[in-house]
Amino acid sequence: MCRTAGRAERAPFDVLVVGAGPAGIAAALHLQRHDARWAERMLVLDQAHFPRPKLCGGGVTLYGEAELGGLGLDLPGSVRAFDVARVQLRFQELRMTWFERAGRVFRVVRREDLDHWLVGQARARGVTVREGVRVTDVRRESGGFLARTDAGEEIHCRVLLGTGGATGVVRKVVADPEQPARVSRLLEVLTPEPGASAAMSLREGSPCSTSRRSCAGSRATTGTFPAT
């Protein structure tokens, strides 16, 4: 069982999920689909309020769509997306191209739409998702974990899922301090019109600016999306 200290109510949460992005919500939905009673036994927290901007390449592969289908979900029209029909990788003189007979190799989606929709699907199935709650500390304790929030709450749980990414508080607690973290650089380009193309290049040591953060280097993940 879990209990929430600092509040009058007591909630029988066995699983605490820190991070309500696709990984956290998918984990919650998998549990709920396995047994509907799990919806009342878990809690999902996220420091953001949805929909929220999310810098991401936004690629949803056919494998990802199959996973959504396994959860009984299908991307609706409210999730803005476009199909990518061909992917080509180039390295020096080598080229490798993928085509998809079904019409696409993958979709590029707007993450703020996708994440907001997934949170809504979890709530529709009875999962408790609390927004605007930041977990500030996580400790191991007898029988599970103790998580503290910026609201002064102490949440005790048997199972803790850290799905807040590489910079999340859970990862910082459980990660090997001797293992250095790897940080990738990401550029998101909103093209002015549907069908427009964008070209980008990074040179060694050249600075770039994304979401008010400066970065330098020669490697980046890029995603393009037609602005509407």
CATH 3.50.50.60 residue ranges for the chain? 3-58+110-174
Q: pLDDT grade, residue 85 (50/70/90)?
A: confident
Q: What is the mean pLDDT of the chain?
A: 79
Q: Can you spell out the DSSP letters for the chain?
A: --EEETSS-----SEEEE--SHHHHHHHHHHHHH-GGGGGGEEEEESS-SS-------EEEHHHHHHHHHTT----TTS-EEEE-EEEEEETTEEEEEE-TTS-SEEEE-HHHHHHHHHHHHHHTT-EEEES--EEEEEEETTEEEEEETTS-EEEESEEEE-S-TTSHHHHHHS-TTS------EEEEEESSTT--------TT-EEEETTEEEESS--EEEEEE--
Chain position carrying tokens 């080229």: 95
Fold of 3-58+110-174: FAD/NAD(P)-binding domain (3.50.50)
pLDDT at 157 over 80: yes
- The rounded percent of the chain whose pLDDT value lies above 90 is 47
82 within 8 A of 107, measured Cβ to Cβ: yes
In the structure encoding, which two tokens stand for residue 5, read together? 């200290």
pLDDT in tens, 48-75: 999 998 888 788 988 999 999 999 999 9
Confidence (pLDDT) at 226: 44
Torsion sign (Cα): 133, 137, 138, 142? negative
Confidence (pLDDT) at 184: 63
Rounded Cα distance, 27 and 115, in Å = 14
pLDDT at 221 over 80: no
133 within 8 A of 45, measured Cβ to Cβ: yes
Angle between helices 22-34 and 111-124 (to 10 degrees): 20
Confidence (pLDDT) at 6: 47
Mean of pLDDT values over 36-53? 95
pLDDT at 42 over 60: yes
pLDDT at 170 over 50: yes
Confidence (pLDDT) at 183: 64
For 160, counting Cβ atoms within 10 Å of its Cβ (0-12 exposed, 13-18 middle, 19+ buried), the class is: buried
Confidence (pLDDT) at 216: 37
pLDDT in tens, 124-143: 999 999 999 999 999 988 88
Identify which of 18-22, 94-98, 181-185 has the greatest average pLDDT. 18-22
In the structure encoding, which two tokens stand for residue 14, read together? 């066995």
